[in-house]
Amino acid sequence: MIIALKSIHVIAIALWSAGLLSLPFLYRQRNGASDKALHRIHAFTRRFYVVAISPAAFLAIGTGTALIFYRETFTTWFSLKLLAVALMMVIHVLLGLRILSLFEEGKRYPGWLAGTMTSCAALVITAILTLVLGKPEFVGQEPFHDLFEPGHLAEMADGLISWMR
């Protein structure tokens, strides 16, 4: 069971990562495209995001969540990995939102933005791989040690959201 979950998780992460790295390059194809070519690029990009990248993200997060409960992984490196996955989700959403307006008349996708988004995605993916493959030990009292204790975020949030009760 765990081997199947891990296999699906790794494949989904690979597809999701590849999609996030390739979207800025697809967006750059928009520049200079006209009518029929523009429509074709728009249709392909939207389909790629909706049919391939987003389901891969959901599958990666779903199988990852199942693995958390199956393996009960509660270590500092794992908490940092979850933070990196959250950043990957932010990149995913930002790239997805760009599809909504990019293909309108007169819009362009600047090279600096493509480079920035690709670099950010590559950096986050590298951080995740480094944490997962290296499983580094964090010894001593690092500045945010309490944040990695199970239940501590709930204690912190209790004071912040007590006014809602």
Give the model's pLDDT for residue 148: 64
> Is the full-model pTM beyond 0.85?
no
Banded model confidence at residue 164, pLDDT cuts 50, 70, 90: low
pLDDT of the residue at 55: 97
Question: What is the Cβ-side half-sphere exposure of residue 63, based on CA atoms within 13 angstroms?
Answer: 18
Q: Does residue 46 register a pLDDT over 80?
A: yes
Question: Average model confidence (pLDDT) for the chain?
Answer: 87
Domain parsing of the chain, residue ranges: 2-139
From 28-37, 118-127, 139-148, the region with the lowest mean pLDDT: 139-148
pLDDT tens-digit readout, 75-122: 778 888 999 999 999 999 999 999 988 888 888 889 999 999 999 999
Give the model's confidence band at 73: pLDDT under 50 very low, under 70 low, under 90 confident, else very high: confident
Neighbours of 163 (CB within 10 A): 6
pLDDT tier, 136 (very low <50, low <70, confident <90, very high otherwise): confident
**pLDDT at residue 145 in the model:** 65
Name which residue leads in pLDDT, 163 or 81: 81
* pLDDT for position 161: 67
Location of structure tokens 């990149």: 91
Q: Can you tell me the mean pLDDT for 28-38?
A: 85
